[in-house]
A = this chain, B = another copy of it.
Amino acid sequence: MAFKAPVKDQLFCMKELAGIDQIAQIPGFEDAGYETAQAVLEEAAKFNEEVVAPLNWSGDQDHGSWDNGVVKASPGFKEAYKALTEGGWQGLQMPTEYGGQGLPKTIGAACIEMTMAANLSFSLCSILTTGATEALLTAASDELKQRYIPKMIEGTWTGTMNLTEPQAGSDLALVRSKAVKQADGTYRISGQKIFITYGEHDMSENIVHLVLARTPDAPEGVKGISLFVVPKFMVNADGSLGQRNDVYCASIEEKLGIKASPTAVLVYGDDKGEVGPGAIGYLVGEENRGLEYMFIMMNAARYDVGLQGLAVSERAYQHAVAYARDRVQSRPVDGSAKESVAIIHHPDVKRMLMTMRALIEGERAMAMVGAAAYDTAHHHPDADTAKQAQAFYEFLVPLIKGFSTENSVEVTSLGVQVHGGMGFIEETGAAQYYRDSRILPIYEGTTAIQANDLVGRKTARDGGAMARAIAAQIADVEGQLTGRASEAGKKYAAQLKTAREAFLQVVDFVLANVKANPNAVFAGSVPYLMLTGNLVSGWQMGRALIVAEDKLAAGEDAAFMSAKVATCRFYGDHILARVASLRDSILQGGESVTAMPVDAF
């Protein structure tokens, strides 16, 4: 089924909720207003619909190959990646001094959302390269930056992030890879890294690995981890490629989904290159500060995975809608037709499609607002404004990551269900999204890791200040909604209020117990994340409802605005409604989660 980029809703979120025109007032972003956004998004839509999307299903079927350390990407991926970089998409948000276009994240996020929806596996090459580039921008010396970043932006080289080892997944304190300093200032790296996305492939001339490892005298735990650049091929002084470095792809995983994205086991230091034993690496920043640099970048990576959740949901939704319009089965329950009708007319099919749609639109609104906060935080000239925006963005990241990816599993599952038996047949395509989405609540920090972050760093550390500041903003929107003439506005205000009050109860519970009874709090941390993500998305949907009703009254874009109103109403009735159960579960159930002795399971 042809993919259609959701440009219209992205522009709505960007303009009406994220405030792209305010972003355009920040120095450096003067040319990045609504008109620019519109032009860029339309180009991005064309590219992703025509070039990237057609490779999604074929990539799942023929997902490349591994042969003695050499990995061939899925057919067409190499050419598509060339087209992506030549179109300037890899450098969209990158600094102009390295060949990027310096556009705000508010625009960039919408573009990469399209690529993810068009082809999740393919998009990861771009995203991981962006992640590695940002790590270098954050902490590398000018020399390293100059040597690597322009090539990564122009697309001749790609990047990877090497964190995980067999014994060190969520727990990076357990990283064991070694880095031994040489007389020339370089390091020799050895160890095994697993789950390395695009760790090996033939889509670029070189691969720039960012690798976490320990120096021999490093302290134990997370404070003894350093970050290194390890190129697949050594880079000569003139920028040309030299010897093969000592990093080798031992295998590619057989995965449930995102099959066209090669997930590599990489072995460093087995003397399989041309440089002798030990991969040659260059320290990024200072020794023992690797995790700190990674964490800066990880917020970006987590944000991106949240977008992936949103994106694969959008794709699954479009697929399901197309099938539901086409498939004729059974008469309507209200007797409005004597013949069988397209299943989209049946209430339960509508319920499923509306659930998918409402989650997607809520998540997109939250993500776009998050992107604008990022732009403000990183570029606003007023330090206080920037600082406040940064705190807000950091609060949102675990929600964007956790809420959107957990929901993507639900949404893609509903996508299969809408297809009935055909959904279970791989050829139909709905099952691919269901398989692909399942990694999203896991990688770049599981939902539990996001929830720990939300509880600890984002809620408890400032004594609930940001949580309450958000609640106050939501109360303000409730006030606006209550004051409206429309029934829908008043009803939504009441639903938002109920959800906000539940949130505040939970925040109080978290603050009161996180020290004294951490088990009870962390037993409810994922429900707390889901409740908060639901509320914050619902807050944005409340703002959207106000805008859409006003535009509708003004006769502006009636079809889009009335669909937006309908989706907001559904969000209030059915998605916000989930908050009550989550609250009860958190407040009453901390003890019963942990009561059972481990041996009794």
Contact = CB atoms under 8 A, between A and B. Distances in A.
A257 to B, nearest CB: 7
21 contacts: A170-B330, A171-B340, A255-B424, A256-B416, A335-B518, A344-B598, A346-B522, A347-B519, A348-B526, A350-B593, A420-B442, A421-B443, A423-B442, A424-B438, A431-B438, A563-B596, A569-B592, A570-B589, A574-B585, A578-B585, A580-B581
A425 interface: yes
Each complex incorporates copies of this chain amounting to: 2
A442 B421 CA distance: 6
A334 interface: yes
Interface stretch (A41-49, A153-161, A240-248, A444-452): A444-452
B581 A579 contact: yes
A435 B347 contact: no
Interface string A151-173: 00000000000001001011101
Contacts of A413: 409, 413, 438
Contact of A348 (B431, B451, B573): B451
A439 interface: yes
Contacts of A353: 601
Interface string A557-587: 0010011001101101110011111101100
A279 B452 CA distance: 63
Given A559-B600, A577-B585, A578-B585, 8 more contacts: A170-B330, A254-B426, A349-B448, A351-B523, A416-B442, A421-B443, A563-B600, A570-B592
Interface centre among A167, A423, A523 (most CB of B within 10 A): A523
Interface string A410-440: 0001001100110111110001001100110
Contacts of A426: 254-256
A493 to B, nearest CB: 14
A337 interface: no
A441 interface: yes
A329 interface: yes
Interface residues of A, number: 95
A174 B340 contact: yes
A598 B424 contact: no
Given A420-B442, A593-B347, A254 B425 contact: yes
A525 interface: yes
B580 A350 contact: no
A439 B411 CA distance: 16
A348 B333 CA distance: 42
Nearest to A570: B592
A434 B438 contact: yes
A30 interface: no
A357 interface: yes
B425 A442 contact: no
Contacts of A584: 577, 580
A274 to B, nearest CB: 31
Contacts of A451: 348
A582 B158 CA distance: 47
A96 interface: no
A195 interface: yes
A325 interface: yes
Nearest to A495: B588
Interface of A is mostly: helix
Interface in A172-222: 173-174, 194-195
A417 B351 contact: no
Contacts of A171: 329-330, 340
A272 interface: no
Given A348-B522, A434-B256, A357 B601 contact: yes
A24 interface: no
A552 interface: no
A578 B588 CA distance: 13
A475 interface: no
A80 interface: no
Nearest to A423: B442
Contacts of A566: 592, 595-596, 600
A420 B446 contact: yes
Interface string A294-334: 00000000000000000000000000010011001110011
Contacts of A526: 348, 351
A594 interface: yes
A254 B422 CA distance: 11
A171 B420 CA distance: 12
Contacts of A598: 325, 342, 344-345
A452 B439 CA distance: 34
Contacts of A452: 333
A350 B596 contact: yes
Given A409-B413, A413-B409, A519-B333, A573 B592 contact: yes
Given A413-B438, A519-B334, A589-B574, A170 B329 contact: yes
Given A526-B351, A573-B588, A577-B581, A562 B446 contact: no
- Closest CB pairs A-B (n = 10): A573-B589, A348-B448, A581-B581, A347-B523, A256-B431, A347-B522, A566-B596, A563-B600, A171-B330, A577-B584
A31 interface: no
A9 interface: no
Contacts of A167: 328
Given A351-B523, A447-B417, A601-B344, A439 B424 contact: yes
A350 B195 contact: no
Interface in A515-550: 518-519, 522-526
